[in-house]
């Protein structure tokens, strides 16, 4: 029986050399380069809506927001990844002179996909929690109206869930409001289901 060849390991420098020439984006963690999958129409619409809603509220303020072309480095764990949206108020710090790898996001938003939801909720969130700058982590469902906001409070993360188009999620760290009706504009659901009652809970930090 043939033995599978071990996956090659790369250094961050090798990753950057490949990534900055590549036609598609890849994550990097533990020496592994992981190609990112494409997105659905709903996913794309939500990301554009988020960029518009947040971007307009940051006009004229010392803040900036970036969509998934901006890479984020989690320095304590060595993860390089592309959040759907990352924002920071105050001075933005970058990994090098290319200014294509953000080090200190205050807010990260991920739009959940069937293939990445478990990762975004679990291992990826464990990486993100190691970012000292991160104050809020937001998960947006694409197949139903639901936005989950995790807010850092000391060593814990407080979860608030919004599930009505009339709800608003406040991003305190950057002074922005996400009205669900706006971020789900033009998104169609095959099965809406009943709107859930907002819930709260606490997630311990790692």
pLDDT tens digits for 1-33? 454 556 788 998 999 899 898 888 898 998 898
Provide the pLDDT for residue 115.
87
pLDDT at 3: 47
Contact 183, 168 (CB under 8 A): no
79: its two tokens: 């993860």
Residue 49: strand pairing partners: none
Is 171 within 8 Å of 136 (Cβ atoms)?
yes
Question: Residue 136: beta bridge partners?
Answer: 107, 151
pTM listed for this prediction: 0.87
Contacts with 147 (C-beta within 8 Å, 6 or more apart), sequence order: 138, 139, 140, 141, 161, 162, 163, 167, 169, 178, 180, 183
Q: In which element (H, E) is residue 149 found?
A: strand 147-153
124-128: long-range contacts, CB 8 A cutoff, minimum separation 24: 124/79, 124/81, 125/150, 126/206, 127/29, 127/74, 127/77, 127/79, 127/81, 128/74
Q: Does 144 have pLDDT greater than 80?
A: yes
The answer to whether the beta carbons of residues 128 and 140 sit under 8 Å apart is: no
One of 3.40.1370.10, 3.30.750.24, 3.90.1570.10, 3.30.470.10 is the CATH number of 41-204, namely 3.90.1570.10
Percent of the chain residues topping a pLDDT of 90: 73
């Amino acid at each position: 029986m043939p033995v599978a060849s071990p996956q090659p390991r790369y250094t961050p420098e090798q990753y950057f050399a490949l990534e900055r020439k590549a036609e598609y984006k890849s994550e990097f963690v533990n020496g592994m380069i992981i190609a990112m999958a494409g997105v659905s129409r709903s996913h794309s619409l939500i990301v554009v809506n988020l960029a518009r809603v947040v971007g307009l509220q940051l006009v004229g303020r010392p803040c900036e927001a970036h969509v998934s072309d901006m890479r984020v480095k989690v320095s304590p764990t060595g993860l390089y990844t592309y959040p759907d949206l990352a924002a920071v108020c105050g001075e933005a710090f970058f990994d090098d002179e290319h200014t294509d790898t953000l080090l200190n996001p205050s807010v990260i938003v991920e739009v959940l996909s069937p293939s990445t939801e478990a990762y975004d909720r679990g291992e990826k969130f464990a990486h993100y929690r190691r970012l000292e700058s991160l104050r809020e982590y937001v998960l947006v469902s694409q197949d139903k109206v639901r936005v989950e906001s995790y807010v850092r409070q000391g060593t814990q993360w407080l979860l608030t869930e919004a599930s009505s188009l009339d709800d608003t999620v406040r991003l305190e760290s950057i002074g922005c409001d996400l009205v669900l009706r706006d971020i789900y504009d033009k998104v169609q659901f095959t099965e809406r289901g009943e709107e859930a009652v907002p819930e709260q809970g606490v997630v311990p930090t790692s």
